[in-house]
Amino acid sequence: MASKSLCSRRDPVLKKRDDFEDVLEERRNSSDIRYAFKCYTPVLYKGLSPCTPAMLKTVVMQSEPLQYAINQVSAESGESVEVVQEEAAAILEEMAHRLKLSTVRFFAFTLSKAFKRLFRSVCVNEEGLQRLQQAIHEQPVVLLPSHRSYMDFLMMSYILYTCDLKLPVIAAGMDFMSMKFVGEMLRMSGAFFIRRSFGGDKLYWAVFSEYVKTMLRSGYAPIEFFLEGTRSRTSKSLTPKLGLLNIAMEPFFKGEVFDVSLVPVSISYERVLEEALYARELLGVPKPKESTSGLLKARKIFSEDYGSMHVYFGSPVSVRSLAQGRINRSQNNFVPRHIPQKPSNEIQSFVNDTAYQLVRMQEENMVLKPWVLIATSLMQNLEGMELSQLEEQTVWLRDLARSFGAFLDWPDHTSSSKVVSSSLSLHRNLVSVCGGRVHLLVAQPPGPESPEAALFERAVSALSCASYRNQILHVFLRPALLAVAMQAATSPRKDEVYNCFSFLRNMFSNEFILCPGESVQDFDEACYLLVKCGAVQMLQQGIETTDSGHVTLPFLCAMLEPFMQGYQVVCRYLCEETPDNLTEKQFVPAVRSFAVKLHLAGSLRCYEALSSDLQKNALAALLRLNAVKKVKMADQVVLKVNKMAVNSLEDTLGGKIPTQKPVLARL
């Protein structure tokens, strides 16, 4: 089946990865003006007819699907067709890009200056760009970058312009449109603006979907959007959002295009520009509103060193190949193409599976720097570490990560002590080395000191460091789930360990990218990797820990411990302190207050329990498991807690994982 073409990457160590080239190197040695005004002649889609942004809007407004939607809305609302037509035109005018090469050249000049000051290097895989160029010529292309920073979409366009590739049109949130001057500049460099949510606005949805599909059908330009929907504040991949991906695939499902190429792009930062901002947001500090004045105030970042950046363009994924044997497109022949249809369960499942696999591909091609390994060690030693011990642990961790297939950028011909000291120097805003000991830096709280304020600053420091550890979580995740399952299982029998593994995987499937329906494959992968690194051996009746496993398995268990503790805190709050008629909006501040109380009492050391991201993911898991339900009461939706179910889950996470029916046949 088609899905296997994405899923069969079970030994990432064997995967050949492309070489990188620093796109800033030439910029440092030649004129930025000449670069900005270079001859720009990108390869275009072979079926493309000349089309300006204004012509594109005309095509959208005259399209059969939009005209059908306009007539429907008119009939339902009682407004005349002309009035609804004007509303649709206004929506499109607000939404549409107005790409101008002159604006792109201005950005090319400005960004070249900015990137040379911010980054030591911006490394891109050249073979990936060659594959992308060929894909753009042959099929409509959808670019799907990971999203860790506002810098992502600027860097994407900068790289494509630098390498003479067709510039993308980029789905952007309305927040940017409200920025004076900057919003219009972004629009003229290829951004089109969409609302964060459409509700039941049929007309808006019709205009938006037809605009995207018209660009896809014509091969007008690569369409770029973030599968995760928003920036990850934790550096973990977020659960993919399916709306735009569904729209992007629909022209293929309806037979309007031969194929669509989906290109996952992995963007890795040695140091994230927004690191401290993200930690504060996770602790409840409101996100600063996007504004031109805020952008100008952010100029101080130019005095900082953000190290290197890697952008890996993955191999284009053919929707046609994926759908072969899985999607029956002939069902669309019974309904005229211009009439909107709700996607079938078959298509919804296919789009969902594809989205997860694409995010996993993004993860696998993330380039990890030595600091990620250092942060991982420090998060398991919050009281600090001797520098010599940290160096030794980092080298051990490097070798383990490599055996699991991590995409590590470890400098050749450089001593490990120099690698570690260089990383510590780059991140001196987070760590301090004093008397041969390394520890996290904690800022002094502003204003009068209080236990709560001191805890907040410690949490900012810990969550900032945790965001770098999170960059490597996908490498260790499956072996770590197996390590915890082995610890919790009542016997080493493979079926019992699998049952524990399956429970944990299900519990944390909102927290991590775990592809639906792949529990057995993930278990097999975890077993394979732990055998490969020498931590366990597989016996006829079970799984046995080796001597080296007595070091590896506790480390892996400790990787998941903050999440285990955080979920238990959420369960405990719901069982002990949930008031009647608790709303979803009240949930996060209430759980955070409960976790603060536990911290100050000394019964909790895990700072992740204070993170709104973990709290929301835990609630999503409990809703999915029917331990909590949403109930509409009067004019609000409240959370109804099944305390017996939640208490059972808390106990299970505490180590008493239930034994279910053996599944030896599946193993």
Q: Annotate 362-428 with three-state secondary structure.
A: HHHCCCECHHHHHHHHHHCCCCCEEHHHHHHHHHHHHHHHHHCCCCECCCCCCCHHHHHHHHHHHCC
pLDDT tier, 88 (very low <50, low <70, confident <90, very high otherwise) = very high
Is the pLDDT reported for residue 398 higher than 60? yes
The answer to whether the beta carbons of residues 130 and 255 sit under 8 Å apart is no
Can you spell out the DSSP letters for 151-180? Answer: HHHHHHHHHHHHTT-PPPEEEEEHHHHTST
Judge whether residue 7 has pLDDT over 60. no
Task: Give residue-wise pLDDT tens across range 125-174.
Answer: 999 999 999 999 999 999 999 999 999 999 999 999 999 999 999 999 88
pLDDT of residue 658: 55
Contact status, residue 36 vs residue 108, Cβ threshold 8 Å: yes
Q: What percent of the chain clears pLDDT 90, i.e. is strictly above it? A: 81
**Could you report the per-residue pLDDT of 599-646, keeping only the tens digit for each?**
999 999 999 999 999 999 999 999 999 999 999 887 888 999 999 999
Neighbours of 287 (CB within 10 A): 12
Specify the pLDDT at position 50: 79
Amino acid at 646: V
Confidence (pLDDT) at 444: 85
Write the single-letter amino acid at 426.
Answer: L
What's the pLDDT band for 391 if we cut at 50, 70, 90?
very high
**By mean pLDDT, which of 299-303, 395-399, 478-482, 595-599 is the weakest?**
299-303
- Residue 291 near residue 179, CB atoms below 8 Å: yes
pLDDT recorded at residue 4: 39
On whether the CB atoms of residues 533 and 489 are closer than 8 A, the answer is: no
The yes-or-no verdict on residue 2 having pLDDT over 80 is no
CA angle 601–603–607, rounded 5-degree value: 95
3-state secondary structure of 5: helix
Q: With a cut of 90, say whether residue 265 has pLDDT above it.
A: yes
Residue 664 CB contacts under 8 Å (≥ 6 apart), including other chains: 494, 495
**pLDDT, averaged across the chain:** 91
Long-range contacts of 425-434 (CB under 8 A, 24+ apart): 426/270, 426/271, 426/305, 426/307, 426/371, 427/271, 427/371, 429/276, 430/275, 430/461, 430/464, 430/465, 431/378, 431/465, 433/387
pLDDT in tens, 108-137: 999 999 999 999 999 999 999 999 999 999
pLDDT in tens, 13-35: 445 678 899 999 999 999 999 99
More confident residue, 351 or 657: 351
Contacts made by residues 383-388, CB under 8 angstroms, sequence distance 24+: 383/439, 384/437, 384/438, 384/439, 384/440, 385/437, 385/438, 385/439, 386/436, 386/437, 386/438, 387/420, 387/433, 387/436, 387/437, 387/438, 388/436
Per-residue pLDDT band at 664 (split at 50, 70, 90): very low
Write down the pLDDT at residue 35.
96
Please report which confidence band the pLDDT of residue 662 belongs to, taking 50, 70 and 90 as the band edges.
Answer: very low
Provide mean pLDDT across the span 230-246: 95
Contacts of 200 (CB under 8 A, 6+ apart): none
pLDDT digit string, tens, across residues 272-327: 999 889 999 999 998 776 655 555 556 778 889 999 999 999 999 999 999 998 88
3-state helix, strand, coil in the chain (%, to 5): 55, 10, 35
Tell me what pLDDT residue 294 has.
58
Specify the residue for token string 């339902």: 76
Contact 61, 88 (CB under 8 A): yes
How far apart, in whole angstroms, are the C-alpha atoms of residue 168 and residue 99?
Answer: 10
Q: Express each pLDDT in 176-222 by its tens digit.
A: 777 778 888 999 999 999 987 777 889 999 999 999 999 999 999 99
pTM: 0.93
pLDDT in tens, 533-548: 999 999 988 999 999 9
